[in-house]
Structure 1
């Protein structure tokens, strides 16, 4: 789950350890701000202010489920972020360092996107507490975010005061520790935001601090070199660099390092190294659910082991395709449907979710692995960290081109957005769709002036079409993944049809994974549920054990895969959609039972390479991966005929 959420973060833990985890979604999301013409190289695309993109339809419901679940109630009862603990002075301040900042980073966009006054009040109180406790040297505790331009007068001076302190400490060799050295890129992104929008005459200090962070941090361009990159599980390999560079979350953070430095080095080699690192990561550690494997550290390809920023800087559609797969597969699969319990380690082939102490990370619960004490420091990351994925995905669904002439729809789903383009061209967009549970998207655009509307056509689309204002549909012919559509002034409707074929992904031991469109499909294993423990203050925050009640030992015949698209009742998806039996989509396949052993009480062995059927063939129904909690996602194969 750490790896899932970290793929969406704008900035997270950065400089001088967790105490100064500063400014995540930050002021870069201020309303109506346009970057100055500066010495930093422009990104390919510019993000819109927080709140400019809103979820609609089923996606808004999904965010409501999250707000009504564990994420939206942590402030009420969870020790590490409950407001009742804030006033505890030093004892609470240690919580503020990591837990508070992670919680804040997810809940600010959640509150803004849902216009939830309770959550917004909680995060504003947190922000005030942090700013009110900045000391005379400029030291700040946790990171901050905001979507209200009026707060700039309060926050920007505090940031500049902290930057001056950080710069002097870097030059004196102070404040650096192992986690700092892997996540320096997050602080660089914050500094670049200040440089672009609020330099306040401090350009030289900001630029110098960026360069100092890179030269005192881990060398990501070397970590991502093919000769150095680990080609399998790393527990028995020797890392030529600091060990934390192969840590799963840090690897996700490091993917942003070279795009961030490109903005001041202007070296194409930085972007080339970042793109290669991305490809190596998913080639050697990728999962069909979209994410990569890391049982804390990189874990290879075995099924029994458990960037939006890159797209905005580099513009390669492979980044957006991957993020969409992660969002619609891996992210919901690691949460119960009601989002009150979460899993720390997720498996492609997961036939049980039980207490394996040690570890406890396989159950769905409140704290299935952390908090934990590491080197006498309590790590509190993950319960507070898990809600970042959905709001960050939504907020980055639309961007503008660097010249601000066009709106670009990066992610596909139900959204609405508004933007003021160059020349005062006010544009609003509404996307009505059940995607990814449908191939059809109906887009309504209203513009003051004519402009080119661009929409990403994913790589998995076959035979996609678009029609403007009811005219005859035209074949989609995207350039670098984007379909440009000339939109006149006034109201325009665009109807997209983005069908896909069932595709197979080859996996280890001759097994296969099944995809159609953005969704990965798996056998949803029926289960029983047992409550292991409940929080004393909030019994809905429960630790759950899942035990399989049906057979999962099957081989499938890929030649018999058939896609089935159901019609939701009343045109609306059930809520919560990511739970067993609720998806309108399914794939059926002929299968036969086989001998396939357990490796202990919880894990399967690797899929058998040439299995023999032990009984007659049967028809299996596969479900979207995100709706499953126990599953087989990588199957051995046989021939039914």
Structure 2
């Protein structure tokens, strides 16, 4: 039976009432091509670690993406319905940003193979020239990877654009005939990714197919989940969703990764509807999501489906990287500081927390209060397996193994933006980056950011420009008493507008120093507990742990499943009035590698604490934090570390009774 949403969409399409006013509405900011922005310092080291770890080697041994020529039954190509596309989308920027020639050769070979095996009717993927069912969704991440490669190597543009336009013609026909969507619901929830790829074609390579591109965008929306309905305050879930019927009729819309990708849907829709209501609903949905399911690490809880606020519920790694990407896109279309602030918080907390420092093992689910990483009995995750918080090659589902590598590189590639007229630059994310780009009127600009942020409050930005322009730099909402000193002048208080500090840049060299201090703050959490924040970093008690190797991959011994168990007490209540910030800068200005590992970051917070009675469920997870507990022992001082460096942790603390 067709949904009422689909029927309404069909009627509107037939009547022409949803045809765009004129083309696509512009985004507030535009992205720079892949390779124009590069990581430096500790951030470059993170990408090198990732490429030296599981992400950079899984194509050599992991059955979903391993094959030399992309032809075998378990190759990336024949997994194009998900695994191959995910891998390709992530590894294109992973290789380019640190000039990893081995990875670059692999991604180029993958692109060549896919394009050379396109079916005569336009279909891309292993279903070509077979009787296998053809579902649309698995191609969307592939398009993102292909687009990125054309940005690096423009000689690929004709091949990629021609193949995409040919596929669009087929996809449009399939949508008219109600085909390509019956993959269990993924195409109906993730249609926005295809819309964004179509908008790239429309913006840069329309080839006279503007009407077809717009029509396909509209059909994707009207045959997919109506995200404006999902984000309605009356229908949005206010608690964990197990046992609750989804009133929208689209059960998969409450799935965590679908939600993460769906956050992009309404800003993408706005570009062809020109309806401000789409942006209003997108912003509202973002706020509802984090109000009712958010975590102090910046992300939200969904152990398969939206999971409320309890500290032991899980967050999927795929969800983390997809939310980072969606938040960047939301900022590009809407321009609200809240999107960029949250993406930065997710990147510097939730992302590294769920991967080992050497990046050879990853979790499926992370927890705010995580006292063990093991096969859990009892299991706190109602829809995921008991093995889900183990660090390994493939705990629970395999999707995160091939998808997580997009997180760090896409954070880099979205860290600088240009204004729509390409006249000015926006330095959106703060960290060690450099960028070289040519703005309007042949204005070649190079920017170098010297910093160990977020492990320091200070950034030095050096700009060389052929001509004058305005350089905008984001000042996060958590900054208190921030200053800027331009070209050696006396430091002055920052004065951002809509979160952006304008810096006038003359031809030649401009240098400015930002000092962006923050206060220690607490966030109220369920059961009277609190979470601790300072600036972009969330702080947690790093529980000492023992490590047991549960499993080793037969082909790659570095790929191991690791069990962590607490090797010391963790049942602490704290006194928030006693926080002290400790900064121990690295002796030579260089952070240790990997920096997101126990005891490695130079920042910490000490606090008075005491042991309390805090029960567990079996021996696997902490019960809810007890409210206003009494101390069972003497007061002591504990040290809180950046959340991303902890693998077992308490991050939502009871407050000790007076």
TM-score by length of 1: 0.91
Residue aligning to 2:214 = 207
How far apart are the structure 1 equivalents of 2:605 and 2:595?
17
Preserved contact between residue 372 and residue 648 of structure 2 (Cα < 8 Å):
yes
Preserved contact between residue 81 and residue 96 of structure 1 (Cα < 8 Å):
no
How far apart are the structure 2 equivalents of 1:42 and 1:220?
21
2:390 corresponds to 1:363: yes
2:342 corresponds to 1:322: yes
How far apart are the structure 1 equivalents of 2:356 and 2:69?
28
Residue aligning to 1:165 = 170
Residue aligning to 1:269 = 277
Preserved contact between residue 406 and residue 453 of structure 1 (Cα < 8 Å):
yes
Tell me the secondary structure at the aligned position of residue 558 of structure 1. strand
Preserved contact between residue 303 and residue 349 of structure 1 (Cα < 8 Å):
yes
Pick 1 or 2: higher relative contact order, CA cutoff 8 A, min separation 6: 1
How far did 1:82 drift? 1.2
Mapping of residues 485-634 of structure 1, within 5 Å? 485-634=503-652
2:106 corresponds to 1:107: no
How far did 1:88 drift? 2.1
How far did 1:83 drift? 2.0
Q: Which of 352, 355, 378 is the aligned partner of 1:335?
A: 355
2:258 corresponds to 1:250: yes
Q: Which of 178, 181, 200 is the aligned partner of 2:188?
A: 181
How far apart are the structure 1 equivalents of 2:523 and 2:74?
52
How far apart are the structure 1 equivalents of 2:81 and 2:523?
42
- Indicate how the Cα distance of structure 1 residues 311 and 82 shifts in structure 2: closer, same or farther if over 3 A, else same: same
- Indicate how the Cα distance of structure 1 residues 350 and 425 shifts in structure 2: closer, same or farther if over 3 A, else same: same
2:113 corresponds to 1:129: yes
Mean CA deviation greater in 294-303 or 174-183: 174-183
How far apart are the structure 1 equivalents of 2:169 and 2:175?
10
Preserved contact between residue 76 and residue 83 of structure 2 (Cα < 8 Å):
no
Preserved contact between residue 56 and residue 415 of structure 1 (Cα < 8 Å):
yes
How far apart are the structure 2 equivalents of 1:369 and 1:239?
25
Mapping of residues 299-318 of structure 1, within 5 Å? 299-306=307-314, 307-318=327-338
How far apart are the structure 1 equivalents of 2:400 and 2:470?
41
Tell me the secondary structure at the aligned position of residue 217 of structure 2. helix
Tell me the secondary structure at the aligned position of residue 594 of structure 2. coil
Q: Which runs of 5+ in 2 are unaligned?
A: 1-20, 126-138, 315-326, 378-384
2:469 corresponds to 1:462: no
Report how many residues are paired. 595
Tell me the secondary structure at the aligned position of residue 528 of structure 1. strand
Tell me the secondary structure at the aligned position of residue 459 of structure 1. coil
How far apart are the structure 1 equivalents of 2:516 and 2:90?
31
Tell me the secondary structure at the aligned position of residue 571 of structure 1. coil
How far did 1:462 drift? 0.2
How far did 1:356 drift? 2.5
Residues 182-211 of structure 1: per-residue CA shift (max 9 Å, x gap): 111111111111011101111111010001
How far did 1:403 drift? 1.6
- Indicate how the Cα distance of structure 1 residues 38 and 106 shifts in structure 2: closer, same or farther if over 3 A, else same: farther
Residue aligning to 1:150 = 155
Tell me the secondary structure at the aligned position of residue 557 of structure 1. strand
Residues 95-132 of structure 1: per-residue CA shift (max 9 Å, x gap): 23211111111100011100111110000000011111
How far apart are the structure 1 equivalents of 2:451 and 2:178?
53
How far apart are the structure 2 equivalents of 1:333 and 1:501?
23
Alpha-carbon RMSD: 1.3
Q: Which runs of 5+ in 1 are unaligned?
A: 1-36, 372-380
Residue aligning to 1:426 = 444
Preserved contact between residue 522 and residue 631 of structure 1 (Cα < 8 Å):
yes
TM-score by length of 2: 0.89
How far apart are the structure 2 equivalents of 1:395 and 1:170?
32
How far did 1:74 drift? 0.6
Residue aligning to 2:245 = 238
How far did 1:90 drift? 8.5
Preserved contact between residue 76 and residue 84 of structure 2 (Cα < 8 Å):
no
Residue aligning to 2:434 = 416
Preserved contact between residue 464 and residue 475 of structure 1 (Cα < 8 Å):
yes
How far apart are the structure 1 equivalents of 2:336 and 2:361?
35
How far apart are the structure 2 equivalents of 1:39 and 1:242?
30
Residue aligning to 1:6 = none
Preserved contact between residue 85 and residue 92 of structure 1 (Cα < 8 Å):
no
2:507 corresponds to 1:483: no
How far apart are the structure 1 equivalents of 2:483 and 2:72?
59
